Structure 1
């Protein structure tokens, strides 16, 4: 009932997005921007290892693994899109037994961990359009969306033709770093929040488990990284998301948010925490190095000819022994609860709920045992 068709030919908007917004009478809630950013999740600020006296000949090997995130939201600042996470493998060992649908990110993959045209179009059709339509329904506004993109090789032409209610316009070439909203402080602040969380975990584990920083980064797994990504993205404020639109929407300049100050505070928190461990020579430049690290870009030809990684790892079900271990440990915990809880009824209830929560594993073990007979 709120849907309004907008059938306008997509084009490179060299005259400025302000004109497009005025012509379409878009509300701030209906205007979106997304951008890709690489995250070198196995890389720690380099001098952290050196100052800690942990430089090693194989240290470089743990800095290469990269993933790409697609981050964005609307100009109203009240709808942050679920991050799309592109990794080089479909089923990495770190996510064994994990359903990708349950992750707080949209999981995609290819051999280069890049957002390709195929992946972007899939995201546009199967996530962005349905998600923004549902958002508009809840806000009781017309489903009439403007998506502003840069000219990255992974952004295909013709997206507007795929949904009459979504118009896609492109920023003028060579202006992305100056006016693209996500590049005006959202992504850098997100990365600072991400690194702050990861460094806090590193400090805690080095103190509690007696491991080195290099050992922590070697042990760091994708499941933890994804949780940190989600938590850091949630930490980016709506005022932050809104204030970065000031170059395209001048009225957003009235939003009182100092993005540089937010980024600096996150850096200061990290530096204070790290220095308390004795690494007093770490400087803000080391944090900036991590935030601004970029991979070599792929050109259009490389993306057009790029093939999906064929060397996929198979998602493995747990073994019978692993399932039986879950069942056994549940029985032991249930018995322990009833043994130590002085309130019989409470202990019985907790024990019952615990067994119910893992009933699926009891049933799975029964099926696997029958199959092995």
Structure 2
């Protein structure tokens, strides 16, 4: 029995690929043809959650809506404004069926495509729509013409709710993030979207300074890291629960006061920012050489998926969301997917880096040797 079949039979969740999702209908109710935000019928009929794996897509199965346009986040990161010139052609992001194609007061001429992967994309402020309701389109197919304002208003939705487009695409490079996301229905029509398998990026920030980046990747001397390249994640804190122990604690709990500032430990790229099971408000940051840091139980997160952060940059505030009995920071470090004791890297008593050299193994094994 395959893994996917076992998951389906267990009812835990439904694994989605571009071809495995339930076929999209080619006819829609009057409400679906008139409203932008509306629940997708049957989206969670099989389970309360599903995955979308973007890493399996071929180049022809994805297109940025305006390949030559310049994009910026708008409306509290709920949509993109892509600027170009009048008369440019708008492209469908993925394959799917046109659910709405009409003029509305808020979006002007707007097209909405319901895709085979469970997402919907919105293309607004068009001078002219080139597709009709019920028409099946392919990724990269021309669907509209840019108006005299020279812009496209674009959004991505799950079950009628908009999500941050940067969760799916890198807005500067226009590239699709080759990763897997989890779409989980949590209450009513609200869907929580999180990244469960991260992209492999060629331009990920460095955990070390330039001199170390040019040296062997097998050894990292933490004593040589410049001060601006690292930061203790919760300045002024003390440890209230160490790593490991009888309860196999996956990280270290640090405490100061409610709503205290949490900072990024190293330069990196945010791969998760949002509610995440027992972690509550959670942030994950990917660093070079296979390192990743996790910060959880925040009262508030200040960063978004895809954002580049610098060591010492404030990323959230301490809280007690998720399974927490007091306001604190739960902090984890992983190397190549394996959790490690944060005390290997940080001297918690002095809130400094350990004066050690780390030997990095390709299989995720890591050893530490104290510097002389």
TM-score using structure 1 length: 0.25
Larger radius of gyration: 1
More helix by share: 1
Relative contact order, higher structure (CA 8 A, sep 6+): 1
More strand by share: 2
TM-score using structure 2 length: 0.25
